[in-house]
């Protein structure tokens, strides 16, 4: 099972400072056990706009049921190799009608849009809690307004960490 590690700095900093990062083990397993031990690390690729990285990810294992938990930093997206920043940039180009140069990136952006559309209600709860007003009832207009508001929030410091803290989920979490 993957959990999110709140990380407010960049990918390169995470990669270089991983040995110093203090990652707390899970508080409780789904079986109810509270005892864990470190279960090594694995490498994961993250594709960002400026480069591709191979980052370490810490794992823990439940002593009782042997279920493994890994902690992805908040700039990673579960089930995707793309960084959160790149996904936001692709969604921005797609929703705000900026021209794409690469066909592959356009296909990826549509995948992200589908995932984004499935999380509209979660994003709305987050935005309304921050004082954003009315949104259209449905359709493209609504998605564009939600995304524009999120993009404004995303420019702020530690967006992913704040979103995780307030909602308990990653801002591009799969269902």
Residues 6+ apart with CB under 8 A from 115: 172, 174
Grade residue 61 by pLDDT with cuts at 50, 70 and 90. very high
Highest-confidence range of 56-65, 84-93, 104-113, by mean pLDDT?
Answer: 56-65
Give me the chain's average pLDDT, please. 79
Q: Output the pLDDT for position 82.
A: 79
Query: Nearest-CA neighbor of 5 among 174, 170, 175?
Result: 170
Query: Which pLDDT tens digit goes with each residue over 37-58?
Result: 989 899 998 888 888 899 999 9
Q: How far is CA 132 from the centre of its chain?
A: 22
Nearest CA among 57, 102, 108 for reference residue 82: 108
Residue 105, pLDDT score: 64
Q: CA angle, corner 115, sides to 84 and 29, nearest 5?
A: 75
For residue 166, is pLDDT > 70? yes
Q: What is the pTM of this model?
A: 0.60
pLDDT digits (tens, 9 = 90+) for 18-41: 888 888 888 889 899 999 998 989
Condensed to tens digits (0 to 9), the pLDDT of residues 123-157 reads: 787 788 878 878 877 777 777 787 778 777 776 55
pLDDT beyond 80 at 165 = no
């Amino acid at each position: 099972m993957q959990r999110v590690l709140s990380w407010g700095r960049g990918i390169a900093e995470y990669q270089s400072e991983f040995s110093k990062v203090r990652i707390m083990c899970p508080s409780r397993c789904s079986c109810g056990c509270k005892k864990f031990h470190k279960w090594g690390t694995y490498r994961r690729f993250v594709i960002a706009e400026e480069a591709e990285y191979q980052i370490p990810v810490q794992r823990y294992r439940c002593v009782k049921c042997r279920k493994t938990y890994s902690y992805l930093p908040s700039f990673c997206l579960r089930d995707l190799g793309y960084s959160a920043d790149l996904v936001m940039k692709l969604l921005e180009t797609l929703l705000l009608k900026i021209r794409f140069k690469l066909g592959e990136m356009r296909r990826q952006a549509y995948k992200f849009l589908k995932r984004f559309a499935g999380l509209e209600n979660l994003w709305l709860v987050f935005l309304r809690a921050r004082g954003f007003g009315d949104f259209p009832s449905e359709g493209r207009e609504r998605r564009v307004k939600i995304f524009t508001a999120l993009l404004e929030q995303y420019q702020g410091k530690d967006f992913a960490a704040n979103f995780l803290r307030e909602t308990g989920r990653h801002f591009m979490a799969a269902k």
